[in-house]
Amino acid sequence: MTLRRICEFLSAQRSGLQAFLKDVPDPEARQFMAHNRRVWRGYRSDTSQGEILIEANRMGGCNTALSYVASYLGRAERAKLVVFHKGLSRADKTVYRSFADSFHQYSARAHEAEMESLFQQIYPWIKTKRDLEELRVDEFWIGDLVYDKYIRHREVTTVDIGNAELAAELREALGYLIHWRKYFASHRVKAVLVGHCVFPWAGVITRVAVEASVPVYLVQMNRLYYIDRSHNSRPYNEYVDHPRHFARLSDEHQARARAEARERVAKRLRGERDVGLHHLLNPTHGAASGKRVLAESPRMKVVVASHCFSDDNHVYGNNLFPDFNEWLLFLGTISERTDYDWYIKLHPDRYPWETKHIEAFVERFPKFTILPSDTPHGQIKADGVSCVLTVYGTIGFEYAAMGIPVVTASLWNPTVAYDFNVHPKTVAEYERTLMNLGNLKVTINLDRVYEYYYCQYIDVADDWLYDDFGGVYGDLAASQGVVGSRAYTRFLEEFTDEKHRSILETVERFVRSGDYNLRPLHFSPARARSGYPAAPAAQGDL
């Protein structure tokens, strides 16, 4: 080796060492680690009965929640806490070591040949978007996960069958499937904790665990879900239970619930930010401006509420169309066969590139007129909108609250348990409905709208971890604090030993209940709301 090569080698080694030494948790993360060492010291003593798998997601708020759910389950199951990942920095590993026991790093190399063989068997049969969406491997559903990952990460409106990048996404998902099936066969997994279930990385292990009858918990800073073979093996589908859940409340509680929901919905429709809008940066409700946005004509006026094209098309399950772009194209063909005034409203939180796509869509289907994203819904109502179309958006209950018919395009949508929207079950039924909107008859019972709103937005467990999740989200989201270490500091600012015990008791009540999602009825007695049937009490010393 020449002197020059030796110098280059030593320089590279020095740079690597410097980077390693600099890769340490920031001060806020270090405070969180010190906190964990204090509160979890001695909490788990026996870890001999298996393992709890924990997804590493590097999100400060989620990690705080994971530390509680994982620690409780580790103690209850007498299991080791194992963080699974595809590669973690030294700093991230240090944070997880403050409450977990060990790490498991995924690698596709060990089963690359098997993955490629399986890919070659499957890929030639994928001819259409629907083929991909419905793709199953030995009855294991994987296609929707690949579909959404491709769209989200490529920032496109739809998949391109035959595209090399799509093939790469499928190979990756198949690798996860092979890996986790083998892992579960050779390890005693007692539970799996994930931060999402939409894309293949966490989605595949979730479904493998469900297949193996292993409990899965989706853990977020404002929500907890227990995922099993019901509810389509995914979170966020509690809406199918809203009528049953509401019926369990006392008559007095139901009356209070509807009254509170009525007030909150009115606030929302006035354009004020309410409890259901913490995720939406630019809500566009508000009173009529007086400036007409829909043309004066005797024709029916149909407004399409566009979605973010790359935002988790299958988050709830399959829709009538494989993706939002296919849905829009279908509506475009319907527009050419009808004598309606067609409008498409831009989504308030769309990605910048999506505006150009909508503009190209309108050029192709000129019966459509674009409504800016800040168009007040109150003005749309005042101008005499006849019907609103969505796949599964919040528009469903919002326009119903204004007495306006809404037609959805999914049987996995949040309002599907109620008849204040129209829910066609097939594409053929959807087409018939759209072609005959003049005959559409919808009886909107506002009490049912308020019941839905209460169950979906008020009777939720957003504050199980933070004293005021809405406030935390609003304060931290702009600086990505929910993702970063600022969420640790915010939690520690609110921390007390009493709150620590209360959170653990809430987790225990939820786990023991076997319920699908955490609700206030699972909260510890100090925080429980009145009017609920009692949840199972926590047992023993937490």
Measured between alpha carbons, how far is 450 from 283 in angstroms, rounded to an integer?
Answer: 20
pLDDT of residue 3: 56
pLDDT for res 284: 54
Q: Are 346 and 358 in contact (CB under 8 A)?
A: yes
Quick one: tokens of 61? 């708020």
Q: Which of 312, 309, 301, 314 is nearest to 328 (CA)?
A: 309
Residue 194 CB neighbour total at 10 angstroms: 26
Per-residue model confidence (pLDDT) at position 19 = 43
- Check if the beta carbon of residue 202 is closer than 8 Å to that of residue 196: yes
253-457, superfamily in CATH? Answer: Glycogen Phosphorylase B; (3.40.50.2000)
Could you give the C-alpha distances from 262 to 255, 378, 417, 426, 460, in angstroms and in order?
A: 11, 17, 19, 33, 17
Q: Which residues, at least 6 apart from 480, have a Cβ–Cβ distance to it below 8 Å?
A: none
pLDDT at res. 207: 94
- 284 and 325 Cβ atoms separated by less than 8 Å: no
Strand partners, 55: 84
Euclidean distance between CA atoms 111 and 45, whole angstroms: 35
Dig out the tokens for 280 from the structure: 């939406």
pLDDT at 541: 44
CA of residue 301 relative to chain centroid, distance: 32
The pair of three-digit structure tokens given for residue 230, joined into one six-digit string: 């019901």
DSSP state of 449: H
Pairing of strands 80-85, 51-55: parallel
Give the residue from 269, 273, 335, 330 showing the smallest Cα distance to 301: 335
Cα(194)–Cα(322) distance, integer angstroms: 25
Nearest-angstrom CA–CA distance, 176 and 140:
12
Q: Given this model, what pLDDT does residue 63 score?
A: 94
Q: Whole-angstrom Cα distance, residue 357 to residue 375?
A: 19
Q: Residue 216: in which H helix or E strand, if any?
A: strand 216-219
Cβ-contact 293, 381 below 8 angstroms: no
Q: What is the dihedral of CA 397, 400, 405, 406, to 10 degrees?
A: -10
Q: What is the pLDDT along the chain (542 residues), one digit of tens a residue?
A: 565 555 555 455 544 444 444 568 999 999 999 999 999 999 999 999 999 999 998 788 899 999 999 999 999 999 999 999 999 999 999 999 999 999 999 999 989 999 999 999 999 999 999 999 999 998 899 999 999 999 999 999 999 999 999 999 999 999 999 999 999 999 999 999 999 888 999 999 999 999 999 999 999 999 999 998 877 678 899 999 999 999 999 999 999 999 999 999 999 888 776 655 544 445 555 666 678 999 999 999 999 999 999 888 999 999 999 999 999 999 999 999 999 999 999 988 788 888 999 999 999 999 999 999 999 999 999 999 999 999 999 999 999 999 999 999 999 999 999 999 999 999 999 999 999 999 998 999 999 999 999 999 999 999 999 998 888 887 776 556 667 888 999 999 999 999 999 999 999 999 999 999 999 999 988 666 544 444 455 554 45
Burial of 17 (0-12, 13-18, 19+ CB in 10 A): exposed
Please report how many Cα atoms fall inside a 13 Å half-sphere around the Cα of residue 177, on the Cβ side: 25
Residue type, 407: V
**Per-residue pLDDT at 58:** 78
* CA angle, residues 271, 276, 278, in degrees to nearest 5: 85
Q: What is the DSSP letter of 387?
A: E
